[in-house]
Structure 1
């Protein structure tokens, strides 16, 4: 990277499916060794620990108290993200977690306050925003290639994760739904591209009250839907740009862009923010046809967990994090307020401040 980094010993809490992606990334980062793993399922904990030389299986409490754990990687289910993050900060550990930061803004604020009191850092997914897809698009924006940003669209459409997920119920409970599950990828990207959000207006719907698991050993099992599964929002950024957001578990097929940004003299097509890479295309008034742009910024070999390297770099240099707990709290505020605005049928302000994070300059490899 050419910049100072901090060695951090990592204790992983939660060894479910997503942990495999983090594990592959951390195995490439020698300064971020995994020393301990805790999970309610001992077999899963042993399997993950076995991927990392010298790592052990711990109980939750032993991991939080361990002298050889500097940072807690919180990969638990969304319902306990805030609880585990708070326990980690109170134990004096840095923490990096899966999205969302917490279930509520109040809980998220408690995590950030606790971290500040303890003098530790909080980071939060998604770190896909650090990849070449979003960062190349941002570099084009910052260079004025499409003029002044005017508006953006962000669409995530699927008929629902129960078709392929063997245990999808948590996705249809508080902390789930399309907005809380997939919204952080799109909203975090929009903040990186256009800056923080000042106000939101929204509508939402729940077309069905139950769903059926479509794969795995429990295929055919029905379950209740406890959250709205189609959410549309109008976001006014502090910069004056306006974004239209649609997150849905109720759409079988669509021909919509993932993210597009519209400027005073052109447009940008931004790839899937759930991935680290993808094609960026630009259309300008000077060259009125879509043209593919080669990657020019971001982590070329990014994988889930690269945000921990960003946190370690911030610790070593004293600089700002790019996927910080503060940014995650702002995104959580946007999501919570958007649902409230939809319920009340009015425009509401976003009260959690944030700044547009620093860009990743140039192509970075580990």
Structure 2
């Protein structure tokens, strides 16, 4: 890929909600990127964000993307808007980084990646915790046979639900969201990064508390109904035949279960919460009595939400032709779609067959 973009790349943040502050804290510390604009459908929110952080331009997303004066668009808006805004950014000649999920359907994410490729532009996407020191340490351990050949894994997001801390939690329970849609991408991205692609899925779900009560903020005490399943149990099989159980739940009051464990022929590996960029990685080999902590390399630069944007910038500056994280994010959308198929149909889902069916519908 021959890029017209030279550092420092001009970046627009699209979506000025809570997560935008976290991204900005990471992006402010690189000389290869400068934040030149921000946008939000609430123009006043964009103007306030710009004033607070010294960003020169603020406005509506359509106005900012129509200027053709940005090199990278960082899209932090609600999931249903991701594809439309990403396509507009690509039409404006900008590379794109999208918060998770990349899209709501595999057909849309596939189209987005193809559009970018045709334009000679890059699409990258969250989660970016696979770029952080714990993930790198775990990957190195697997590559050097610390626990032998991976046979299985167990991953779990077990929580009482975001209504205990979020003043407006209803979107977390909308159709297509729930614990799987909201938090599943962090776990699925880490699992596929470490163990490879998924080709087979089984799933079952339940909702033990469909009526939820807001616990904080101006609407505390109000109730609302969850439209998405609130407890999802899945069995996944990788192409290498490793079996994974993944449980995502907003119904669990408390747990002592690790977030993610990988079981190999010679030992086991325990990783921290894949929603975050830090934490210890422990391993224990067969016959040993104690867990040991893996050494982690010191981060050369900032580590936090936005690390994936820096990876995208590095790819652009080095004229890369693709971004692995973008394709991994597309595969995560495929997996979630397969889980939805499995849970609603009551039958296992083979991703190969779903791809063939999707490809036929696109022709």
- The normalised TM-score by structure 1 is 0.90
Match of 1:45, SS state, is: helix
- 1:111-260 equivalence runs, <5 A: 111-260=112-261
Contact 1:35 1:54 in 2 (8 A): yes
Provide closer, same or farther for how the CA distance between residues 281 and 323 of structure 1 changes in structure 2, counting only shifts above 3 A: same
Q: Quote how far apart the aligned CAs of 1:261 are.
A: 0.5
Deviations 1:100-155 (A, max 9, x none): 01111122222122212222111111111111111111111111010111111110
Provide closer, same or farther for how the CA distance between residues 268 and 37 of structure 1 changes in structure 2, counting only shifts above 3 A: same
Q: Report the counterpart of residue 326 of structure 2 in structure 1.
A: 325
Q: Quote how far apart the aligned CAs of 1:42 are.
A: 2.7
Q: Report the counterpart of residue 362 of structure 1 in structure 2.
A: none
Q: Quote how far apart the aligned CAs of 1:51 are.
A: 4.6
Q: Quote how far apart the aligned CAs of 1:31 are.
A: 1.2
Say whether 1:312 aligns with 2:313: yes
Q: Quote how far apart the aligned CAs of 1:270 are.
A: 0.7
Provide closer, same or farther for how the CA distance between residues 89 and 67 of structure 1 changes in structure 2, counting only shifts above 3 A: closer
Q: Quote how far apart the aligned CAs of 1:342 are.
A: 1.3
Q: Quote how far apart the aligned CAs of 1:92 are.
A: 2.4
Decide which moves more: 201-210 or 213-222.
Answer: 201-210
Deviations 1:49-85 (A, max 9, x none): 2354452112222211223211111000122122212
Q: Quote how far apart the aligned CAs of 1:239 are.
A: 1.4
- 1:54-93 equivalence runs, <5 A: 54-93=55-94
Partner Cα separation in structure 2 for residue 194 and residue 320 of structure 1: 24
Partner Cα separation in structure 1 for residue 101 and residue 328 of structure 2: 11
CA RMSD of aligned residues (A): 2.1
Q: How many residues align?
A: 350
Partner Cα separation in structure 1 for residue 300 and residue 132 of structure 2: 5
Say whether 1:349 aligns with 2:350: yes
Contact 2:122 2:321 in 1 (8 A): no
Q: Report the counterpart of residue 50 of structure 2 in structure 1.
A: 49
Contact 1:178 1:230 in 2 (8 A): yes
Decide which moves more: 91-100 or 106-115.
Answer: 106-115
Match of 2:235, SS state, is: strand
Partner Cα separation in structure 2 for residue 322 and residue 154 of structure 1: 26
Q: Quote how far apart the aligned CAs of 1:165 are.
A: 0.4
Provide closer, same or farther for how the CA distance between residues 265 and 298 of structure 1 changes in structure 2, counting only shifts above 3 A: farther
Deviations 1:317-340 (A, max 9, x none): 344766522111100110111121
Deviations 1:194-243 (A, max 9, x none): 01111111111122332121100111122221111111111100111111
Q: Report the counterpart of residue 275 of structure 2 in structure 1.
A: 274
Q: Quote how far apart the aligned CAs of 1:300 are.
A: 6.6
Contact 2:174 2:228 in 1 (8 A): yes
Structure 2: tracts of 5 or more residues without a match: 1-5, 356-363
Partner Cα separation in structure 2 for residue 54 and residue 134 of structure 1: 33
Provide closer, same or farther for how the CA distance between residues 299 and 99 of structure 1 changes in structure 2, counting only shifts above 3 A: farther
Decide which moves more: 81-90 or 134-143.
Answer: 81-90
Partner Cα separation in structure 1 for residue 180 and residue 342 of structure 2: 14
Provide closer, same or farther for how the CA distance between residues 300 and 309 of structure 1 changes in structure 2, counting only shifts above 3 A: closer
Match of 1:18, SS state, is: helix
Partner Cα separation in structure 1 for residue 176 and residue 14 of structure 2: 19
Decide which moves more: 75-84 or 233-242.
Answer: 75-84
- The normalised TM-score by structure 2 is 0.91
Structure 1: tracts of 5 or more residues without a match: 355-366
Larger helix percent: 2
Match of 2:33, SS state, is: coil
Deviations 1:272-310 (A, max 9, x none): 111111011010126342112221376674111111111
